[in-house]
Amino acid sequence: MEMNEQLVQAITRAVIEQLQKQGASVPETKTADRSVQSLSGRTRMRPKHHYTNVVKAVKGTDPKEIVIGVGAAFQTEIRSTITGIPLDEVLRNVRAGIEEEGMVSRVVKVLDTSDVGFMALQSAKLSGSGIGIGIQSKGTTVIHQKDLYPLTNLELFPQAPLMTPETYRKIGRNAARYAKGERVTPIESENDPMVRAKFQVKAALMHIIETEQLDPEKGMIEWEGVQ
């Protein structure tokens, strides 16, 4: 779908309406000779999450280990994906897929970026096997390898609304197979050109919530049962 100016304005208005419904402060500004609402100066959509007694994630040494890096709002400010799949279920399926292939998983929370590609790459660099999985809270997922460029991943699943629990299980399996050095058949991803338009506003809101929870000073923390 072409992202023209009219579409961008429509999305912005819809996002602002949602912000206002949630009590965010949105002042008026002048743009293109007319009064429009601006996101500048708005209040936070969610209170800042404060982590206590957390452990900074360190590089693993187990060659069977695959690190799963989850977003900053994962299981705290956001509890389910963009289509309502509980994030607990997402993690359970990814980990089950990894275990089915005889590998082990470790979950970390990424607090210094909300870009799923960088989340996955940083997770791969922590992983004992050199393979990592990045999962944004809205469900977008990437399988990455530690020595690849950020935008050159192993597999990308950009359309979160089309993801299912079984897809996440397959992602876990494929990540494990990459780690074992096996020949891997990429997961077939569905493509729906209408998904972007239907979920654009919700995706934007979820990304705002995720991004405002970043805490670069903490970086990456262990997330095994810590909530």
- List pLDDT tens digits, range 72-112: 999 999 999 999 999 999 999 999 999 999 999 999 999 99
Query: CATH 3.40.50.10150 spans which residues of the chain?
Result: 65-192+200-208
Look at residue 118 in the predicted model and tell me its pLDDT: 97
Task: Please give the average per-residue pLDDT across 191-210, as a whole number.
Answer: 87
Q: Which residue has the higher pLDDT, 9 or 135?
A: 135
Task: Please give the average per-residue pLDDT across 6-20, as a whole number.
Answer: 59
At 189, the pLDDT band (50, 70, 90 cuts) reads confident
Task: Please give the average per-residue pLDDT across 174-199, as a whole number.
Answer: 90
Tens of pLDDT, residues 136-160? 999 999 999 999 999 999 999 999 9
Look at residue 130 in the predicted model and tell me its pLDDT: 98
The total number of residues shown for the chain amounts to: 227
> Among 162, 151, 178, 206, which Cα is nearest to 67's?
178
Widest Cα–Cα separation across the chain: 62
Q: Name the average pLDDT for the chain.
A: 86
At 24, the pLDDT band (50, 70, 90 cuts) reads very low
Instruction: Indicate whether 23 pLDDT > 90.
Output: no
Cβ atoms 145, 135 nearer than 8 A: no
To 10 degrees, the CA torsion angle through 148, 192, 88, 185?
A: -50
Distance in angstroms between the alpha carbons of the first and the last residue of the chain = 38
The answer for residues whose C-beta is within 8 angstroms of residue 226's C-beta and 6 or more apart is 51, 54, 109
CATH class for the domain made up of 65-192+200-208: alpha beta
| Vertex 121: Cα angle to 165 and 84 (nearest 5) | 25
At 52, the pLDDT band (50, 70, 90 cuts) reads confident
Phi then psi for residue 13, to 5 deg, are -60, -40
Output the pTM of the full model.
0.83
For 81-113, letters b (16+ CB in 10 Å) and e give bbeebebeebbebbbebbeebebbbbbbbbbeb
Look at residue 192 in the predicted model and tell me its pLDDT: 79
Instruction: Indicate whether 135 pLDDT > 90.
Output: yes
Cβ atoms 151, 36 nearer than 8 A: no
Residue type for position 63: P
Look at residue 29 in the predicted model and tell me its pLDDT: 37
At 3, the pLDDT band (50, 70, 90 cuts) reads very low
At 202, the pLDDT band (50, 70, 90 cuts) reads very high
Cβ atoms 81, 138 nearer than 8 A: yes
CA separation for the pair 69, 120 (Å, rounded): 6
CA separation for the pair 216, 105 (Å, rounded): 24
SS3 89: helix
Q: What percentage of residues in the chain have a pLDDT greater than 90?
A: 70
